[in-house]
């Protein structure tokens, strides 16, 4: 009896401890949690790979499914990501034991040494100390050849815009000793950039992202997204006569794009658009390539037709070296074909008469260097076609390097290289459209490259997602760097398989809709923004215009893109 009393007294002391340090002792404490959960308490768990966004999302979903959404809180503190779990009476923690990517307690030197999974040596990007010194860059390349882990691996070179001077090298897999040697080499500008993998901005599944965030917006946030009234006053009637036509029984995202505010309560079925939408314009899609010879699924207006009518293929050198075919989509989920069809496709696209310039990146083990090479391929292509500058828009629904901030991006080597290409692109007056990102469940505001670079000097157009009612799903990232929203839930498109339609939720599929609307305006004469603007000022004018009432309107709490078709245009086209 005395022994039992002592045991119960000891258990009471443990349970009443307001700051139970036992959580920091490591995995061995997991076996004790069932006893502790006999009374309400909390548990903190950590990811083993904080930069692995796919793993973060999987763990977040796993924990919410196990304990319930209200009892799992993600803590996005910089450098120390964690989840706090509220354990109630009767809860079990058995499922946490051995779950991939989870660690109990913060990482220590001891836990690092006991890590079971051995990770491969990482990949890096090295920036030339003086890109204009060809002799030095040649010697640096030879030095890098001697330092990479695999002497047969391909090193990718990036060139200074408008020149043949090498400014960086990527796809460099280096040991820790080799990395130190490279950073100390006179021909290299330290530190090295990360050459991490690139991810598509698509949500994992449809059903888990239908919850609408109800948190209030700050005045600062909304002010940054309001376009100046003076921009609306500058909008001029088009010299070229606009004749509207209709696509009967169109996909829901297109119907929403052409729905004017004055018809917001009408149950529309048709897509109303300028029948010359996109003629003579070019939409550059930087992605996994598009299966541009594929035919679409049967429909009222486009029965078994090729989805892509006008195509110019472009391909990065790395993709060519890997033996990839430019007419194929290297994505297992048809990401490039879906995005392309939503921008220019005959059935699914906004700017049906625009030319698709499909910029195919390497598909296997795609990294930041592949995206950078894609930017280089686009800027070089446009540099050789000055007559195309005023008729082009570039889009990419890719993202990388999570937990990036505008402040961090000021000194990040990868961000610096991207700015170099964006400066060249914007100098030509060509807008760049990007998806805002799908990590809103974890990081509410935009946190990845290239979209986090957005500012007055880098006027990237960042696009968030809404559902067909105008509600923003929780996964869609926002913040002061968001420009506009577009349908991103329930959006359909053409897959790389003949006659097969696909749908993936995510901001990936909102961005091409905005690019398609911009492409439509590029065909107007004069344009609906201040036509006297050139270069970066022109890009900013385009960005400002799509945020005005002439090209968007507020659905619920989000300003959503609109192609300008008014009620009279719907009536003239005989739309329903």
HSE-CB for 210 with a 13 A CA cutoff = 8
Instruction: Please report, for residues 231, 461, 557, the alpha-carbon distance to residue 215 in angstroms, rounded to integers and kept in the order given.
Output: 30, 24, 11
Tell me how crowded residue 168 is: count the other CB atoms within 10 A of its CB: 26
Residue 543, both tokens? 């960005």
Q: How far apart, in whole angstroms, are the C-alpha atoms of residue 293 and residue 167?
A: 36
The residue whose two tokens read 């509410």 is: 444
Instruction: Please report, for residues 53, 92, 310, 395, the alpha-carbon distance to residue 344 in angstroms, rounded to integers and kept in the order given.
Output: 30, 52, 9, 12
Identify the active-site residue in 60, 335, 389, 509: 335
Q: How far apart, in whole angstroms, are the C-alpha atoms of residue 145 and residue 121?
A: 16
Q: How far apart, in whole angstroms, are the C-alpha atoms of residue 551 and residue 528?
A: 10
- The closest alpha carbon to 523, from 171, 293, 239, 181, belongs to 239
Cis geometry, peptide bond prior to residue 191 (ω within 30 degrees of 0): yes
Q: How far apart, in whole angstroms, are the C-alpha atoms of residue 503 and residue 491?
A: 6
> Which residues, 6+ apart, have CB-to-CB distance to 98 below 8 Å?
none
Element counts in the chain: helices (H) and strands (E)? 17, 23
- The closest alpha carbon to 399, from 515, 542, 495, 287, belongs to 287
Please name the helix (run of DSSP H) or strand (run of DSSP E) that holds residue 146, with its range, or none.
helix 134-147
- CB environment 22-60: b (16+ within 10 A), e (fewer): bbeeeeebbeebeebbeeebebebbbbebebbebbbbbb
Is position 508 annotated as part of the catalytic site? yes
Q: How far apart, in whole angstroms, are the C-alpha atoms of residue 289 and residue 312?
A: 11
- Phi and psi at residue 35, in whole multiples of 5°? -65, -45
The residue ranges of DSSP E strands in 195-350, in sequence order, are: 199-200, 244-247, 271-274, 282-287, 311-315
Q: How far apart, in whole angstroms, are the C-alpha atoms of residue 356 and residue 333?
A: 20
Is position 287 annotated as part of the catalytic site? yes
Work out the angle at residue 341's Cα, subtended by the Cα atoms of residues 337 and 345, and round it to the nearest 5 degrees: 140
Identify the active-site residue in 287, 414, 530, 557: 287
Sign of CA dihedral 133, 136, 142, 144: negative
CB 242 within 8 A of CB 274: yes
> Which residues, 6+ apart, have CB-to-CB distance to 78 below 8 Å?
403
Identify the active-site residue in 82, 276, 288, 508: 508
Q: Is 306 helix (H, G, I), strand (E, B) or coil?
A: strand
Q: Which residues are catalytic?
A: 287, 335, 508
């Amino acid at each position: 009896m005395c022994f039992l009393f002592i045991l119960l007294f000891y258990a009471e002391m443990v349970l009443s401890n307001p700051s139970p340090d036992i959580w920091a002792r490591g995995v061995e404490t997991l076996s004790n949690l069932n006893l502790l959960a006999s009374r309400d308490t909390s548990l903190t768990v950590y990811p083993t790979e904080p930069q692995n966004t796919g793993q973060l999302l999987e763990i977040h979903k796993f924990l919410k499914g196990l304990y319930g959404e209200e009892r799992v809180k993600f803590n996005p503190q910089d450098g120390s990501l964690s989840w706090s779990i509220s354990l109630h009476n009767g809860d079990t923690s058995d499922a946490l034991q051995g779950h991939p990517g989870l660690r109990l307690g913060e990482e220590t030197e001891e836990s690092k040494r006991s890590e079971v999974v051995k990770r491969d040596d990482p990949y890096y990007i090295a920036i030339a100390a003086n890109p204009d010194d060809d002799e030095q860059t040649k010697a640096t390349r030879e030095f890098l050849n001697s330092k990479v882990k695999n002497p047969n691996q391909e090193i990718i070179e990036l060139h200074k815009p408008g020149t043949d001077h090498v400014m960086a090298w990527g796809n460099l897999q280096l040991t820790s000793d080799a990395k130190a040697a490279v950073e100390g080499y006179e021909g290299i500008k330290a530190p090295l950039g990360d050459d991490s993998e690139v991810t598509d901005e698509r949500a994992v599944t449809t059903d888990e992202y239908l919850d609408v965030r109800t948190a209030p917006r700050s005045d600062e946030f909304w002010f940054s997204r309001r376009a100046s009234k003076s921009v609306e006053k500058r909008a001029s009637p088009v010299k070229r006569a606009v004749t509207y036509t209709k696509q009967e029984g169109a996909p829901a995202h297109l119907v929403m794009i052409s729905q004017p505010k004055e018809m917001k309560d009408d149950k529309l079925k048709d897509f109303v658009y300028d029948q010359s939408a996109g003629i003579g314009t070019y939409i550059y899609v930087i992605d996994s390539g598009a299966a541009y010879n594929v035919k679409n699924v049967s429909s009222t207006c486009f029965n078994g037709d090729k989805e892509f009518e006008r195509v110019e293929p472009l391909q990065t050198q790395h993709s060519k070296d890997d033996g990839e075919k430019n007419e194929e989509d290297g994505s297992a989920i048809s990401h490039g074909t879906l995005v392309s069809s939503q921008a220019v496709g005959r059935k699914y696209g906004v700017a049906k008469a625009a030319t698709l310039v499909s910029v195919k990146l390497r598909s296997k083990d795609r990294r930041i260097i592949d995206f950078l090479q894609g930017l280089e391929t686009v800027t070089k292509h446009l540099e050789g076609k000055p007559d195309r500058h005023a008729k082009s828009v570039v889009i990419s629904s890719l993202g990388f390097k999570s937990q990036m901030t505008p402040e961090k991006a000021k000194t990040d080597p990868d961000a610096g290289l991207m700015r170099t290409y964006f400066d060249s692109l914007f100098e030509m007056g060509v807008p760049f459209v990007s998806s805002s990102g799908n990590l809103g469940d974890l990081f509410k505001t935009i946190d990845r490259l290239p979209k986090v670079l957005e500012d007055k000097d880098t006027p990237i157009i960042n696009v968030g997602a809404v559902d067909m009612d105008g509600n923003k799903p929780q996964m869609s990232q926002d913040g002061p760097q968001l420009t506009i929203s577009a349908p991103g839930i329930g959006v359909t498109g053409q897959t790389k398989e003949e006659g097969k339609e696909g749908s993936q939720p995510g901001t990936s599929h909102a961005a091409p809709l905005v690019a398609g609307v911009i492409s439509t305006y590029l065909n107007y004469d004069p344009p609906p923004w201040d036509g006297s603007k050139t270069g970066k000022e022109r890009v900013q004018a385009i960005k400002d215009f799509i945020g005005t009432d002439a090209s968007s309107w507020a659905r619920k709490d989000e300003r959503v893109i609109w192609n300008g078709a008014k009620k009279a245009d719907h009536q003239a086209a005989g739309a329903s």
